[in-house]
Structure 1
Amino acid sequence: MPEHIFKLDSSKRFVDQEKLGHNRWHPEIPPVATVKPGDSFRVDCREWFDGAIKNDDSAQDILEAPLLTVHTLSGPFRVEGAKPGDLLIVDILDVGPIPQEEGPLAGQGWGYTGIFSRNNGGGFLTEQFPDAYKAVWDFAGQTATSRHIPGVSFTGIIHPGLMGTAPSAELLGKWNAREAALIATDPERVPPLALPPEAEHAILGGLDRGEWARVGSEAARTAPPRENGGNQDIKNFTKGSRVFYPVFVDGANLSVGDLHFSQGDGEITFCGAIEMGGFIDLRVDIIPGGMETYGVHENAIFMPGNVEPNYSHWLAFSGTSVTLDGEQRYLDSHLSYQRACLHAIDYLTKFGYSPEQAYLLLGAAPIEGRLSGVVDIPNSCSTVYLPVEIFDFEVRPSAGGPTQIDPGIGAPVAANR
């Protein structure tokens, strides 16, 4: 096993660990450990809400989820010799749930998917699904099943939702300026257009506590992906992946977290993956001057992992850039993907699922999302590929009509908004 350089005690909260990680991006957050090019090492990761979400049949915890506290990131890890302008090579050697069969934390034999309330985070289809729902998934090996979404089981593509390097002070300033300008266009919007710095709930690792208020007021929130990688939520960042990250500060200061047991393309419910805590084994190296050599001045490039479920039969749903009210938009690919997802959700309700169960399933199962056409004005075409093998009944259209399943206890709504 690689050297275990960042250990977490599952009985303790994130802030009470021996080594403290962070939940904001800032160049002044000091590294918790140093590794050398060529080193392999193991890192423990907490579930992104640090145990706030429970294995039960209520979505009240999703409704009240503490979004200001996320993400609980492990790191930063300094890579000896890395300089601004280099490319940091990160190989994902292994990744998995907390290595215990059962327990109170997501990752100990179970995980969850949530639909977030429109007033607390929202999601890709928040106008159609404004309330909070939750599905709990049980793990058996690499297979996920849920008492809240019966009739399906699938192989998870286990991966980190978030990994990236630290920004420079200059890059951080660019992030804050452009996101503040976006917020200013509609400052009262719900959900908000972007998330500004917020110091009160910032956790800043080993930085001197006297500096937390100042640094927290500048530090970037971890919700969006940016030039440093970050919260990209790419389901193919699984075992066997090689990622090339731009380096913006001495040592690169790599951080990782937000592990997922499975996810569909887009993570469409916002908490659309099966969230869990666990471990990840990494190996790092450096390409000196690689940003200029390969033209990678911003945003990571990667080689997908070689561990995927072998699904070969799909049912695909398409959508175009026309709103539900019939308004034509010009090559709006975001809208066309929404319409493809809504098409799939409506289809699944014909078998007995509630719309919320279908929505949660599309977020958690390894669906394929594709941008199928972007040149045929005025409509872009997006498609959602649903693997039919994940169902234990026939889901393809036939003359006999759809099989009616027992929806079970369903995906429970929160008690109030």
Structure 2
Amino acid sequence: MTASRRTIHIHCDQWHLAWDHSISPIATIRSGETLTFDLLDAACGQITENSTIEAVKTLDFSQVDQVNGPIYVEGAEPGDTLEIEMVDLQPATWGWTAIIPGFGLLADEFSEPALKIWQLEGGANGWGEFAPGIKLPLEPFCGEIGLAPAASGAHSTIPPYRHGGNMDTKHLTKGAHLYLPVEVTGALFSIGDGHAAQGDGEVCGTAIETPMQATLRLTVRKDIQVPEPQFLTAGPLTPRTNTAGYYATDGIGPDLMEATRNAIRHMIDYLQRTYHLSRADAYMLCSVAVDLKLCEVVDAPHWVVSAFLPLSIFTNPA
């Protein structure tokens, strides 16, 4: 059987909760082989399609952002690059978005939990309805993609690192190729955190979180070296939402983070005023649909951050 034809299946219960090179691999593959992962949602099954707000209130944060793996890739050595091709990404028929107290860009302003359960139709090319008159096209990807670090000990799966991790990069959709620097023998690859859709920035800390079936091809590249993650997108970027105009709000100031917060605050105000959303719903919609962009970073002392709202998601005129 050739490497290109063999497919290995990783089950949803084969997960771990830290980036740690001492964790034993659950499978060994040859370079160029394909794997299919059945992934739980980012809450590790604590939130289901029948959950209520109580699930957010009782969420055990020590169990979130689990990743499936690790996978030992034969021939991978420190200094190499692992190429991860997104062959197929299929979300479940449901997902969730939440405001989790203490988490997100505006955590100090949103102290009460909120939960939105989505019904997702049509698979990877389908839709999710946020509210009457607001439909989001699905563009699935995985937020957590990474390799084991050379540094000893357990490293949290919550942040991103040079070896990958919780990158939450919405452009790593089907057809994209991600390149990660290998730090340990075998690379020790893991993945998780399925997203059906997300805005650049994921401002409230959650996207449309969903169980995911992810099919990937892992290839050791000895001909290229990357210092930190790099990727080739399938392109064009977000083609299913780039079908109409955008409304953008700016945040301007000497502090990039505060300018970012202001851009989202202004967008929340706009969504409340124009589409009559609650403040919590407007914040969650920003997280799943609004893209943050650095529009100007060279004219000190002030920088410009813009929040872009795709008007194509609204089925009724404002």
TM-score by length of 1: 0.71
Instruction: Answer yes or no: is the 8 Å Cα contact 1:238–1:306 preserved in 2.
Output: no
For 1:117, the equivalent position in structure 2 comes to 101
Correspondence list, 1:317-328, <5 A: 317-321=249-253
Query: Which residue is equivalent to 2:316?
Result: 393
The aligned runs of 1:223-302 (5 Å cut-off) are: 223-271=158-206, 273-288=207-222, 290-291=224-225, 296-297=226-227, 299-302=228-231
Residues in 1 aligned to 2:186 and 2:8: alpha-carbon distance in whole angstroms: 19
**Structure 2 residue aligned with 1:7, among 11, 15, 24?**
11
CA distance in 1, matches of 2:6, 2:109: 46
State how far apart, in whole Å, the 2-side matches of 1:154 and 1:302 are: 25
Q: In structure 2, what is the equivalent of residue 347 of structure 1?
A: 270
- Partner residue in 2 for 1:413: none
SS of equivalent to 1:88: strand
CA distance in 2, matches of 1:72, 1:129: 25
Paired amino acid for 1:165 = L
The question of whether the paired residues in 2 share the 8 Å contact of 1:133 and 1:356 is answered with yes
Structure 1 CA distance, aligned partners of 2:166 and 2:209? 13
CA distance in 1, matches of 2:9, 2:48: 28
Query: What is the aligned partner in structure 2 of residue 134 from structure 1?
Result: 115
Contact 2:38–2:214 at 8 Å: present in 1 too? yes
State the shift of 1:270 in Å: 1.0
Name stretches of at least 5 consecutive residues in structure 1 with no aligned partner: 9-13, 15-19, 98-106, 173-217, 322-329, 396-417
Determine which structure has more spread, i.e. the larger CA radius of gyration. Answer: 1
Deviates more, 1:155-164 or 1:303-312: 303-312
Question: CA 1:44 to 1:56, structure 2 compared with 1: closer, same or farther past 3 Å?
Answer: closer
Larger strand percent: 2
Question: Aligned partners of 1:57 and 1:254: how far apart in 2?
Answer: 31
67-76 or 48-57, which moves further after superposition? 48-57
Provide closer, same or farther for how the CA distance between residues 2 and 126 of structure 1 changes in structure 2, counting only shifts above 3 A: farther
Correspondence 1:55 to 2:39: no
Query: 1:155-166 maps to which residues of 2 (within 5 A)?
Result: 155-166=137-148
Work out which of the residue numbers 20, 27, 39 in structure 2 matches 1:33: 27
Decide whether the 8 Å contact of 2:66 with 2:157 is kept in 1: no
In structure 2, distance between residues paired with 1:231 and 1:356: 24
Where 2:16 maps in the other structure, the secondary structure is: coil
Q: CA 1:343–1:249 in structure 2 vs 1: closer, same or farther (change >3 Å)?
A: same
Q: Letter of the aligned partner of 2:23 in structure 1?
A: I
Distance in 2 between residues matched to 1:355 and 1:254, nearest whole Å: 39
Q: Residues of 1 paired with 2:182 and 2:314: CA distance? A: 43
Amino acid at match of 2:147: T
| Change over 3 Å in CA distance of 1:7–1:56 after alignment to 2 | closer
Alignment of 1:76-155 (within 5 A): 76-97=70-91, 107=92, 109-118=93-102, 122-141=103-122, 142-146=126-130, 149-155=131-137
How far does the alpha carbon of each residue in 1:16-47 deviate from its partner, in whole angstroms, 9 at most, with x for none?
xxxx3211111111111111112122111111
| Identity rate, percent | 31
Compute the displacement of 1:76 (Å): 0.6
Return the offset for 1:72. Answer: 2.2
Partners of 1:159 and 1:262 within 8 A in 2: yes
Distance 1:71 1:336 in 2: 28
- Structure 2 counterpart of 1:22: 16
Per-residue Cα deviation, 1:90-147 (whole angstroms, up to 9, x for no partner): 10010012xxxxxxxxx3x1100011112xxx2111122121111111111120113x
User: How many aligned residue pairs are there?
Assistant: 307
Q: Distance in 2 between matches of 1:282 and 1:37?
A: 12
Distance in 1 between residues matched to 2:218 and 2:45, nearest whole Å:
29
Say which is worse superposed, 248-257 or 131-140, in terms of deviation: 131-140
Query: Given that residues 239 and 306 in structure 1 are in contact (C-alpha distance below 8 angstroms), is that contact kept between their aligned partners in structure 2?
Result: no
| Structure 2: gaps spanning 5 or more residues | none
| Offset from partner CA, 1:372-398 (integer Å, 9 cap, x none) | 111222221100111111012223xxx
For 2:296 and 2:57, locate their aligned partners in 1 and report how far apart those are by CA, in whole Å: 36
Q: Contact between 2:8 and 2:34, CA under 8 Å: does it hold in 1?
A: no
Q: Is the 8 A contact 2:41 2:194 kept in 1?
A: yes
Structure 2 contact 99–284 (Cα < 8 Å) conserved? yes
Q: In the alignment, which residue of structure 2 is the partner of 1:311?
A: 243
Cα deviation digits, residues 60-101 of structure 1 (max 9, x gap): 21122111112221111111100000011110010012xxxx
1:361 is the counterpart of 2:285: yes
Aligned to 1:167: 149
Alpha-carbon offset, residue 320 of structure 1 = 1.1
**TM-score scaled by length of structure 2:** 0.92
Q: Please identify, of 308-317 and 62-71, the stretch whose mean Cα deviation from structure 2 is larger.
A: 308-317
CA shift, 1:312, in A, is: 3.3
Distance 1:382 1:374 in 2: 9
SS at match of 2:208: strand
- Contact (CA 8 Å) 1:47, 1:258: kept in 2 or not? yes
Asked if the contact 1:373/1:382 (under 8 Å) is kept, the reply is yes
Asked whether the 8 Å contact 1:94–1:280 carries over to 2, the reply is yes
